[in-house]
Amino acid sequence: MNRVAVFGSSGALGSTISNDFENLGFDSVRLTSSSSKENLVSTLDENWVEVLTKPGKLDAAVWAQGFNQSDNISEFSIDVFNKHLDANVSYILDTVHKLIAADAFTNRARIVILSSIWQESSKANKLSYMVSKSALKGLVTSLCLDLGHKGISVNAVLPGVTDSPMTHRNLSSEQIAHVVDETPLNILPRIEEVSKTVTWLASTDSSGINGQFITVDNGWTRYRNV
């Protein structure tokens, strides 16, 4: 049975990804960066790598954790900025490093990192979040090169505005309608569609794809009103 680690499994997207892996027959190990919860391995525990790898090496790993808070340069806080970098960038580097040091991956393992369309596009009042997501472009391409000799592929998925509880909490109905109107398919992508993209990239079906960024937004970022 193939084994996969899903970091950020306590969130809606991470939980969906874990469920999809299990439906595909994977042994999905769910991890969290917070205190241990039922059926979740916490990376706060000193022995989390040993707990994760004791049953066997990983065929894939997914990072779906993160932090998102609105800010801009006029209201800039170095603490908020560092919180974004810690959660969205440093956490990935630290956990990948520890897994590599423990020789936790099989040959031809696949890593998938959840980024965002705001890695490539711009949105007002998302300064720290956008900077942290932009940093993932360098992270993914660097890991792609550094881990290639180990046979490990590294790719990223960039979700757009999804039809999810988070979107409905953070955007007004008018804002959501505006995004839908500018989307060629006239519908928001579902988190299930993001998850299916992740599980595909983490499988051998996507062999040959490495160092790439796959956008899941139903074409919204391609829209231009001329």
pLDDT digits (tens, 9 = 90+) for 98-114: 999 999 999 999 999 99
- Rounded to two decimals, the pTM is 0.95
142 within 8 A of 199, measured Cβ to Cβ = no
Angle at 89 between CA 189 and CA 99, to 5 degrees: 100
- 7-42 per-residue burial string, b: 16 or more CB within 10 A, e: under 16: bbbbbebbbbbbbbbeeeebebbbbbbeeeeeebbe
pLDDT band at 169 (very low <50, low <70, confident <90, very high): confident
Structural domains for the chain: 3-162+190-219 (3.40.50.720)
Average pLDDT, the chain: 95
In the 8-state DSSP scheme, what is residue 120?
T
Q: Is 185 helix (H, G, I), strand (E, B) or coil?
A: coil
C-alpha 45/C-alpha 51 separation (Å) is 10
Angle at 144 between CA 142 and CA 148, to 5 degrees: 125
Q: Find, among 35, 94, 28, the residue nearest to 62 by Cα.
A: 28
High-pLDDT (> 90) share of the chain, %: 90
pLDDT of 176-216, one tens digit each? 999 999 999 999 999 999 999 999 999 999 999 999 999 99
